[in-house]
Amino acid sequence: MKLILAVVATDHTQVGGGAPIFYARSEEEKNEVALLIAKILGAAVHDLQNGVLVIVQH
Amino acid sequence: MSHIFTLLAGTGAGFLARLYMLRRDYRQYPSYPQGWAVHLFVGFIGAAIGAVIVPAVLEKEYAAVSFLILAASQFREVRNVERLTLGAMESTELVKRGTAYIEGIARVFEARNYLSIWVALAVAVTAELWGGSVWEGLGVCLLVGVVITLLLSRLMAGQTIGDIATVELAEIQFDNALLKIEETVMMNVGLETARSVYRERGLAAKIMPKGPNAKATLANLGQMQAIAHDVSAMIGVFMDVGEQEFIPLVRRNPDNGCLYLVMVPSEDDQEAFLTAVRRVPVLEGAVRKPLTSKAGKMLD
């Protein structure tokens, strides 16, 4: 089963809801945080192409 | 004592046939030496059963024949054991075999024992019919054994992807985060670092089915997973535990039935990559032949 483990975003107004949300101050920090979380959880980072990254367990 | 030659020749031939069929290749399955020991012993039992049937019939020991046939039914347990073993080891594979491949392997191992019974039976009949000297009889038995073994393994040999499809290199393209091959979206790669790995080291293949039968066969999910697993086993995969971005993926283009494989191999050798894809076996359970049906013929 696929599961969204975390959401990483820069814009506070864009995301909300059940999964853990991590806010980043810049694009670089967003990518860095997403990579770190993905490595910790052994999951994959997917780009929703609206500035939001989701970390998904496949 | 009169049947001792028949028993020895039949059992020996069946055992040797099983040994011949235990080929070690890139899959390293059955594992060596314990896996071999298991299969050779089971093959030996099968060979003995095949060899004993002939003298038992000649001596009119029909109860013994019934028991021997009953014993042969035990070989179906081989399939269960193989399935359980491979299923248990599945979680230790970086790229999963998939249940269809496991079923295929289990079936092959069961079938090979029956083949060794057939070889033993054929050689035992030959030995029993042979009236000449023992040494000549041995030569004739050897010949019959070799011919039957080669014939049966030829009949049992399955096809490979190269037989049913044309395989060529394809270009990996990125549309922002989407990894595409010829307009077919393979996956969403979120991180630029991962995308650059695909740009620098990634390889992709296009697998074009030859005809509707091949198209239906390649549409099988188990076959698709088997391609990903086997290619990774043959040329290695550039990934570590938990790096889901780099898991080899096979996707299908619904328009024309083509499959696309994308992966990051551990060595960047395009010819080796294409050869590996062509050498993947076609799973027996995946084979479909829509052209043999009336509706299928109407579509062609």
DSSP 8-state secondary structure symbol assigned to residue A42: T
Contact check, Cβ <8 Å, A34/B190: yes
How many domains does chain B contain in total?
2
Chain A's closest residue to B192, CA to CA, is: A31
State the Cα–Cα distance between residues B88 and B67, nearest whole angstrom.
33
* pLDDT higher than 70, residue B26: no
Q: How confident is the model at residue B10 (pLDDT cuts 50, 70, 90)?
A: very high
State the Cα–Cα distance between residues A49 and B43, nearest whole angstrom.
58
- Does B175 contact chain A (CB < 8 Å)? no
Contact between residue A30 and residue A53 where contact means Cβ atoms under 8 Å apart = yes
- Does B245 contact chain A (CB < 8 Å)? yes
The overall average pLDDT reported for chain B is 91
What six digits make up the tokens of B116?
């060794």
Rounded average pLDDT over B7-26: 88
Rounded average pLDDT over B98-121: 92
Contact check, Cβ <8 Å, B242/A43: yes
Three-class DSSP category at A28: helix
CA distance A2 to chain B (A): 12
Residues in chain A: 58
Mutation to test the B interface, candidates A47, A55, A56, A57, most B Cβ within 10 Å: A47
- Does B188 contact chain A (CB < 8 Å)? yes
Same domain as B170, residue B151: no
The last residue of a domain, from among B102, B121, B156: B156
**Which range marks the domain in which residue B27 is found?**
4-156
φ, ψ of residue A47 in degrees (nearest 5): -105, 120
Contacts of B192 in chain A (CB under 8 A): 31
State the Cα–Cα distance between residues A13 and B282, nearest whole angstrom.
51
Same domain as B8, residue B141: yes
Summarize pLDDT for A24-39 with one digit per residue, the tens.
999 999 999 999 999 8
Residues 6+ apart with CB under 8 A from B7: B48, B51, B52, B55, B124
Same domain as B152, residue B165: no
Same domain as B143, residue B189: no
Same domain as B207, residue B87: no
Summarize pLDDT for A5-22 with one digit per residue, the tens.
999 999 989 888 889 999
Q: How confident is the model at residue B25 (pLDDT cuts 50, 70, 90)?
A: low
Same domain as B75, residue B178: no
Same domain as B185, residue B151: no
* pLDDT higher than 80, residue B66: yes
* pLDDT higher than 80, residue B2: no
Question: Which of A44, A47, A49 minimises the CB distance to B244?
Answer: A44
B156 vs B180: which has the higher pLDDT: B180
Per the DSSP assignment, residues forming a β-bridge with B251 are B260
Contacts of B242 in chain A (CB under 8 A): 39, 41-43
Quote the Cα angle for B158-B218-B157, to 5°: 0
Position B1 scores a pLDDT of: 56
C-alpha separations of B220 from B98, B125, B283 in Å: 12, 42, 9
CA distance A32 to chain B (A): 9
Rounded average pLDDT over B32-43: 88
- Does B191 contact chain A (CB < 8 Å)? yes
The last residue of a domain, from among B135, B156, B177: B156
Same domain as B105, residue B14: yes
Locate tokens 């820069």: which residue? A10
Question: Which of B176, B190, B241 minimises the CB distance to A45?
Answer: B190
Rounded average pLDDT over A40-51: 92
Position B256 scores a pLDDT of: 92
Rounded average pLDDT over B44-69: 91
Rounded average pLDDT over B21-48: 84
Same domain as B187, residue B125: no
Rounded average pLDDT over B265-270: 91
Position B76 scores a pLDDT of: 87
The last residue of a domain, from among B107, B130, B156: B156
Q: What is the 3-state secondary structure (H, E, C) of chain B?
A: CCCHHHHHHHHHHHHHHHHHHCCCCCCCCCCCCHHHHHHHHHHHHHHHHHHHHHHHHHCCCHHHHHHHHHHHHHHHHHHHHHHHHHHHHHHHCCCCCCHHHHHHHHHHHHHHHHHHHHHHHHHHHHHHHCCCCHHHHHHHHHHHHHHHHHHHHHHHCCCEHHHHEEEEEECCEEECCEEEECCEEEEECCCHHHHHHHHHHCEEEEEEECHHHHHHHHCCHHHHHHHHHHHHHHHCECCCCCCHHHCCEEEECCCCCCEEEEECECCCCHHHHHHHHHHCECCHHHCCCHHHCHHHHHHC
State the Cα–Cα distance between residues B288 and A14, nearest whole angstrom.
48
Contact check, Cβ <8 Å, B192/A42: no
* pLDDT higher than 90, residue B279: yes
Same domain as B183, residue B146: no
Rounded average pLDDT over B87-91: 93
Q: How confident is the model at residue A56 (pLDDT cuts 50, 70, 90)?
A: very high
List residues in chain A touching B: CB distance below 8 A: 31, 34-35, 38-39, 41-47, 49, 53-54, 58
Contact check, Cβ <8 Å, A49/B176: yes
Rounded average pLDDT over B175-180: 93
Contact check, Cβ <8 Å, A49/B177: yes
Q: Write down the ipTM of this complex.
A: 0.84
Rounded average pLDDT over B68-86: 88
Q: How confident is the model at residue B24 (pLDDT cuts 50, 70, 90)?
A: low
Question: Which of B177, B192, B241 minimises the CB distance to A46?
Answer: B177
Same domain as B294, residue B175: yes
Three-class DSSP category at A34: helix
B25 vs B281: which has the higher pLDDT: B281
CA distance B56 to chain A (A): 56
Same domain as B152, residue B194: no
* pLDDT higher than 60, residue B131: yes
Position B28 scores a pLDDT of: 65
